Structure 1
Amino acid sequence: MRALTAALLVLSGPSAAPVRDQQQWVLDALNVEQAWTVTKGEGVTVAVVDSGVDGQIKELKGRVSAGPDMTSGAVSRQMPPGRHGTAMAGLIAASGEDDGLIGVAPKAHILSLPMLTDDDPEVSVPPAQDEEQVTESPLARALRYAANHGAKVVSMSIGSYGPLRSEREAVSYALGKGVVLVAAVGNDGLTEYARQNSTSYWSFPAGYPGVIGVAATDKQGKRAAFSSDNLSVLVAAPGVGVPVVKRKSGYELSEGTSSAAALVAGVAALIKAKYPDLPPEQVAQALASSARGRPAAGYDDQTGYGVVDAAAALNAAERLTGEQRSVVAGKEHFGQGEDSPVPTRPGPDPLRLWLYGGGVLVALVMFCGAIILLNQRKE
């Protein structure tokens, strides 16, 4: 079974400035505060597939449910909270309690689905062949659990090389349940392979169809040098010097596509809170079509369609919801014209039968009359 690893690269302590001041540039980059005038993520559960989440820190207290250890088939076993999972959960849903860190969707709920620990090593080997012999990976188990336990968004700041059949099937299952899937594209932008080939190895789950792959940008909105560049990238978000919560208490700075993916998962939670019936593909469309800093060509494999704009994405989602309603509006959509005639019942047409029968009768009379005339002439 392949290893799944966290995409977080660097964590270092921030300066003595208040954390809300430290994170203001992130909120501005995503245009989050304008989006909060519409929704703050009420009623939405975001599953965090990562290391465990510490639900006792002040910003998350009372809003974290702990799922079972996804690496084990035993649903009763639980893993201890981890540094990385706690940091990502805070970016999604921290409440800002006592002027602490505030997440993109500060009223959302977190479902912690641990499947790795902070001690798991980084993967630094070329991708292997598809391991079809794996019946169900921890990630596949986590996706199905999330879809079956009320999650509307799944945040996956994890990555590994090579797809698995069980994961492809679990991704399809979750998407079919209406769950939005968001994942980090990876931190391989500076690898030797990337330098030689001008592209990065694909990381999964970001590489699966239907998953929103997120790249990292800096304070200037430019792609972070470490961020992987390939066609799994759909959109981008801040991933350099992003303040995060620490386990138990305190804050630190994060660097990686992990943070970018968690932030976008928070924006997806805002969309699902306002438009709960919007399907995953239209949530992705809303994020992509409204992104800022769009590349000159419209799209590239470094930042995708650009940096996510939370307020603009909500507006785009509203338009898509209107389009969706018009499609199913029936007669009101197509006008009040006359109805088509009711189809005739199958079988013989009575009128045609009478015409046919009358024609046959006339023909018989004429035939018999001709025979009589011929017989009279012979006599």
Structure 2
Amino acid sequence: MIREATAALLAVPLLLPAAAPVRWELDVMDVPEAHRVSQGENITVAVLDTGVVAEHPEFKGRVSTGPDLIGGGARPGQSYWGAHGTAMASNVLSVAPKARVLSVRVIWDEEDPARERYEQALKNWTETGTADDAYLESQRALAKGIRYAVGQGAEIISMSLGTDEWGAFQPYEEDVAAAVDHALGKGVILLASSGNGGSTSRLDTEANNVVSYPAAYAGVIGVAAMAPGGQRAGFSQVHTYTSISAPGVDIRSALNTGGYEAVHGTSPACALAAGAVALMLSRNPDLSPRQVRDILVRTATKPEDGYTVFLGHGLVNADAAVRAAGVAKGARIEAVPYKGGEYFGKGPVDSPITHPPISRTYMIAGGVGVGVGLLCFAGAFLLIRRRRA
């Protein structure tokens, strides 16, 4: 999430209005139309983030709090506890107002002193190859959070985070990849922000455009950020793991200290997309992760050039996605009986049981040949011994 003014917004536009009305993100995603059919009833979205201030008036009892898996000493009520997570929870619920949010704390807020200590530990690790066990343990928080959310029955996991927040020691983590596979195997839909390092400005210190996990894990829906004019937001990272895009500029979000502010980033884009998925699953809870992704891709508002690495397959259209979800048949995973012939292809040329008799002529000729060979070997052996004598 970015609170400052964004860099110049790049091209690859969608055919959208240039002006940005109040709550433009909901209008451009056709959320009001989708609400006529679904508002996210009976769906739980796990927000893996910095914690959520559940008492904010925005939530009205719709947020439950899970464990703090990252630690670090921060507590609810402090300015650096739950700033990012509270904003993301409000973005999810702005799209799916009747869904529930499960908050699981797996990363630190930007102002958290624990983040500074972590960055120092990272520097030591870079220079010496060793790091404090407490900070190495922080790398496991995301994997634990995914498994916890699955165990609690969450249908959707929203991860508005990336490599810079949790994976600095090792961007690709085997335990996180295994947790993602576990969640997908349970039918849980996972979404992650594509990252905020996509700026082309040399003055932007975050302009790294590195591959960002968990968005880059197979099976996770990577979400890019779109600007009001329909272009990629200038900070949104550019990679092939981006599946779709959602609004990511001037997004009205709840503050952990009360009230609201406008935020920017692929973080709110991911949370808004997760809300749209909640609408889909409320309409049809039998959808598989692959079906959800396919519907989002098929119903998205497409860029002029079709798929691009800037905006993926296009902007999430909540109304079209919900309607498509309503008529889709739930996926069934089962063995399909084989209805073909007795053999694959043409089968064996001869019978697998009988074969023609072996020719006696070949057997006699082979035996004679072996006998002659043995005699020659014996004669050569005797000649060599006589010469030595």
What residue is the counterpart of 1:371 in the other structure?
A: none
Distance 2:327 2:59 in 1: 33
Question: Which of 2, 5, 27 pairs up with 1:9?
Answer: 2
Q: Does 1:144 align with 2:153?
A: no
C-alpha displacement at 1:59, in angstroms? 1.5
Distance 1:207 1:258 in 2: 15
C-alpha displacement at 1:240, in angstroms? 0.8
Distance 1:307 1:79 in 2: 37
Question: Which of 260, 268, 272 pairs up with 2:269?
Answer: 260
Distance 1:194 1:173 in 2: 41
Q: Does 1:311 align with 2:302?
A: no
Distance 1:215 1:169 in 2: 24
Answer with 244-253 or 44-53: which moved more. 244-253
Paired residue total: 297
C-alpha displacement at 1:62, in angstroms? 1.1
Tell me if structure 2 keeps the 8 A contact 1:79–1:114. no
What residue is the counterpart of 1:251 in the other structure?
A: 260
C-alpha displacement at 1:64, in angstroms? 1.1
Q: Does 1:156 align with 2:159?
A: yes
Give the aligned residue type for 1:9. Answer: I
Give the aligned residue type for 1:288. Answer: V
Distance 1:46 1:219 in 2: 26
Answer with 31-40 or 158-167: which moved more. 158-167
Tell me if structure 1 keeps the 8 A contact 2:227–2:233. yes
What residue is the counterpart of 1:226 in the other structure?
A: 235
Instruction: Report the 3-state secondary structure (helix = DSSP H, G, I; strand = E; otherwise coil) of the residue aligned with 2:314.
Output: coil
Tell me if structure 2 keeps the 8 A contact 1:291–1:305. yes
Within-5 A mapping of 1:22-37: 23-37=22-36
Question: What are the superposed Cα offsets for residues 34-85 of structure 1, whole Å, 9 maximum, x if unpaired?
Answer: 1111110011111111111011111203111111111269xxx995251110
Distance 2:261 2:201 in 1: 29
Alignment RMSD (CA, Å): 3.4
Q: Call closer, same or farther: CA 1:173–1:250 in 2, change over 3 Å.
A: same
C-alpha displacement at 1:316, in angstroms? 2.5
Q: Call closer, same or farther: CA 1:173–1:193 in 2, change over 3 Å.
A: farther
Question: What are the superposed Cα offsets for residues 72-112 of structure 1, whole Å, 9 maximum, x if unpaired?
Answer: 69xxx99525111001100111xxxxxxxxx0000011100
Q: Call closer, same or farther: CA 1:193–1:235 in 2, change over 3 Å.
A: farther
What residue is the counterpart of 1:113 in the other structure?
A: 104
Among all aligned residue pairs of Structure 1 and Structure 2, give the percentage whose two residues are the same amino acid.
41
Instruction: Report the 3-state secondary structure (helix = DSSP H, G, I; strand = E; otherwise coil) of the residue aligned with 2:222.
Output: strand
Question: What are the superposed Cα offsets for residues 2-46 of structure 1, whole Å, 9 maximum, x if unpaired?
Answer: xxxxxx12168xxxxxxxx96431111111011111110011111
C-alpha displacement at 1:221, in angstroms? 1.5
Distance 2:318 2:142 in 1: 28
Tell me if structure 1 keeps the 8 A contact 2:2–2:265. yes
**What is the TM-score of this pair, normalised by structure 2?**
0.69
Distance 1:194 1:289 in 2: 38
Question: Which of 240, 245, 255 pairs up with 1:236?
Answer: 245
Q: Call closer, same or farther: CA 1:149–1:11 in 2, change over 3 Å.
A: farther
What residue is the counterpart of 1:375 in the other structure?
A: none
Tell me if structure 2 keeps the 8 A contact 1:11–1:253. no
Distance 2:201 2:146 in 1: 32
Distance 2:279 2:75 in 1: 28
**What is the TM-score of this pair, normalised by structure 1?**
0.71
What residue is the counterpart of 1:269 in the other structure?
A: 278
Give the aligned residue type for 2:163. Answer: S
Question: What are the superposed Cα offsets for residues 288-331 of structure 1, whole Å, 9 maximum, x if unpaired?
Answer: 111003341x2111100000000111122234327x48x98x9x
Which stretches in structure 2 are left out of the alignment for 5+ residues? 6-19, 165-170, 342-389
Tell me if structure 2 keeps the 8 A contact 1:241–1:253. yes
Q: Call closer, same or farther: CA 1:168–1:284 in 2, change over 3 Å.
A: same
Tell me if structure 2 keeps the 8 A contact 1:159–1:203. yes
Higher relative contact order (CA 8 A, sep 6+): 2
Within-5 A mapping of 1:167-206: 167-190=176-199, 200-206=209-215
Distance 2:142 2:75 in 1: 15
Q: Call closer, same or farther: CA 1:165–1:194 in 2, change over 3 Å.
A: farther
What residue is the counterpart of 2:300 in the other structure?
A: 291
Instruction: Report the 3-state secondary structure (helix = DSSP H, G, I; strand = E; otherwise coil) of the residue aligned with 1:240.
Output: coil
Within-5 A mapping of 1:33-182: 33-71=32-70, 79-80=75-76, 81-93=81-93, 103-118=94-109, 119=111, 137-160=140-163, 162-182=171-191
Distance 1:248 1:201 in 2: 32
Distance 1:210 1:230 in 2: 15
